């Protein structure tokens, strides 16, 4: 079929297999171009199909020659209905890894459940014995807690006060004022349930108990801080409360891994266009101004550049350069004073009329469509493609 983007608000309902495959190939080429990283050889990535998790899987495999198991929740294709992008990404990744002689298997299911954890442990036991790196990169709006059976929904709201600021509809470029009512206690608790650290700890507990964590095993999860501008709706909002919890959990896990010489650390990553971040009000406007500024300064990075640098310079570099709260700061270039000062200046004057000039609206929009395999250079979108693509280890 001919597959075209079909957007509804912040989501795109279709994805292009050839475009997704090309994205994966481009990321692999980037990692290879940066040279070998002396990293882990047996790696589990939880949330491995898109964004930072996919970039982590690619960097482990093609930077360090690692065997990888990827866990994710994606929708497979059926005749006439394309799969979700993470499905096509994972199919392309497995194909490329296998061609390169690398072990790669995937598990498609709910990572929050006991069943998927057990299935993953069984696969590790059978195929790899143990893993020496676990990347935790889930982003989800909902979680069913397997201990209580209760389903929780996260929300993106400020805590305490009503928040009003500018935002942009990146499809139209319309800059408007958005007002968000503050969260109640349940909202906060639910968001922490979904995006906090409990599930990360449950994974590590289950894996340690099963003996599938190798001596010296490290685990990393990803967080975000961002500027003052977005603080009320991000870091000091409900999602920030969940990130506080995630970061606090890293110390609990690190303690539990001491006896196997392991470690658990959070990496604070840069703001990027992903399916998750497009849905957060105010953030798209911030990102479009940030992209413009960082591109002008020659320091713009996407997921793969971020994770390649995270591995090469921090995790497997001389020094993780932890901040005063024990976190890796690979958001260092985003948070640079000159970058933030410029974004502040642009933010103050941003309007519908000037945004395409002072902000990188096109870069935002292109990145958004790229997530779904559209607008990828070199792909012939007029060509007939087979939407039914299998993930080799799953079919």
Tell me which residues are annotated as active site.
234
Of these, 22, 23, 27, 49, which contacts ligand NAD (CB under 6 A)? Answer: 49
What is the distance between the alpha carbons of residues 7 and 369, in angstroms, rounded to a whole number? 9
Of these, 51, 232, 240, 363, which contacts ligand NAD (CB under 6 A)? Answer: 51
Q: Name the one range near Na ion by CB under 5 A: 47-55, 89-97, 311-319, 345-353.
A: 47-55
What is the distance between the alpha carbons of residues 15 and 174, in angstroms, rounded to a whole number? 25
Backbone angles phi, psi at 105, to 5 degrees: -135, 155
Q: Name the one range near ligand NAD by CB under 6 A: 23-31, 138-146, 250-258, 320-328.
A: 138-146
Q: How far is CA 195 from CA 214, 238, 241, in A?
A: 26, 10, 9
Cα–Cα nearest to 266, from 248, 279, 282: 248
- Residue 277 in contact with ligand NAD, rule: CB under 6 A: yes
Cα–Cα nearest to 279, from 145, 170, 129: 170
* 224 marked as binding residue: yes
Residues binding ligand NAD: number (CB under 6 A)? 29
Q: Considering only residues 194-223, where is the footprint of ligand NAD by CB under 6 A?
A: 222-223
- Residue 47 in contact with ligand NAD, rule: CB under 6 A: yes
Of these, 21, 28, 37, 52, which contacts ligand NAD (CB under 6 A)? Answer: 52
* 50 marked as binding residue: yes
| Residue-wise DSSP of 156-169 | --BSSS-EEEEEEE
Instruction: Retrieve residue 320's tokens.
Output: 């993780």
Contact 307, 31 (CB under 8 A): no
Q: Name the one range near ligand NAD by CB under 6 A: 19-27, 104-112, 250-258, 372-380.
A: 104-112
What is the distance between the alpha carbons of residues 38 and 316, in angstroms, rounded to a whole number? 7
| Three-state secondary-structure class, residue 40 | coil
- Of 156 and 339, which CB lies nearer to Na ion in the complex structure? 156
- Residue 51 in contact with Na ion, rule: CB under 5 A: yes
Annotated binding site for substrate: 224
Query: Applying CB under 6 A, which residues contact ligand NAD?
Result: 47-53, 71-74, 86, 110-112, 137-140, 222-224, 269, 271-272, 274-277
């Amino acid at each position: 079929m001919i597959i075209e983007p079909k957007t509804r608000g912040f989501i795109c309902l279709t994805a292009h297999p050839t475009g997704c495959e090309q994205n994966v190939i481009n990321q692999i080429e980037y990692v290879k171009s940066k040279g070998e990283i002396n990293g882990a050889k047996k790696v589990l990535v939880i949330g491995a199909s898109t964004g930072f998790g996919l970039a982590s899987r690619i960097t482990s495999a093609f930077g360090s020659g690692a065997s990888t198991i990827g866990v994710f929740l994606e929708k497979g294709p059926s005749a006439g209905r394309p799969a979700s992008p993470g499905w096509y990404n994972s199919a392309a990744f497995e194909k490329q890894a296998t061609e390169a002689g690398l072990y790669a298997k995937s598990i498609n299911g709910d990572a929050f459940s006991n069943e998927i954890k057990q299935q993953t442990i069984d696969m590790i036991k059978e195929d790899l014995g143990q893993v020496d790196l676990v990347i935790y990169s889930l982003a989800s709006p909902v979680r069913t807690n397997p201990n209580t059976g209760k389903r929780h929904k996260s929300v993106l709201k400020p805590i305490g006060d009503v928040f009003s600021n500018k935002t942009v509809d990146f499809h139209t470029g319309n800059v408007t004022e958005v007002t968000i009512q503050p969260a109640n206690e349940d909202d906060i608790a639910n968001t922490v349930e979904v995006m906090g650290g409990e599930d990360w700890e449950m994974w590590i507990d289950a894996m340690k108990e099963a003996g599938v964590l190798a001596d010296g095993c490290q685990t990393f999860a990803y967080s975000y801080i961002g500027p003052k501008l977005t603080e009320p709706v991000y870091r000091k909002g409900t999602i920030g409360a969940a990130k506080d919890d995630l970061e606090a959990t890293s110390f609990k896990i690190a303690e539990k891994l001491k006896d196997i010489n392991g470690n658990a650390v959070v990496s604070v990553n840069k703001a990027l266009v992903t399916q998750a971040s497009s849905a957060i009000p105010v953030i798209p406007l911030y990102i479009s101004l940030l992209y413009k500024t960082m591109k002008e300064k020659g320091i713009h990075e996407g997921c793969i550049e971020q994770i390649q640098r995270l591995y090469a310079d921090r995790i497997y570099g001389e020094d993780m350069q932890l901040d005063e709260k024990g976190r890796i700061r690979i958001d260092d270039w985003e948070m640079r004073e000159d970058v933030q000062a410029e974004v502040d200046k642009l933010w103050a004057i941003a309007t519908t009329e000037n945004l395409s000039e002072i902000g990188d609206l096109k870069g935002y929009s292109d990145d958004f469509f790229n997530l779904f395999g559209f607008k990828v250079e070199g792909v012939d979108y007029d060509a007939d493609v087979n939407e039914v693509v299998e993930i080799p280890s799953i079919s």
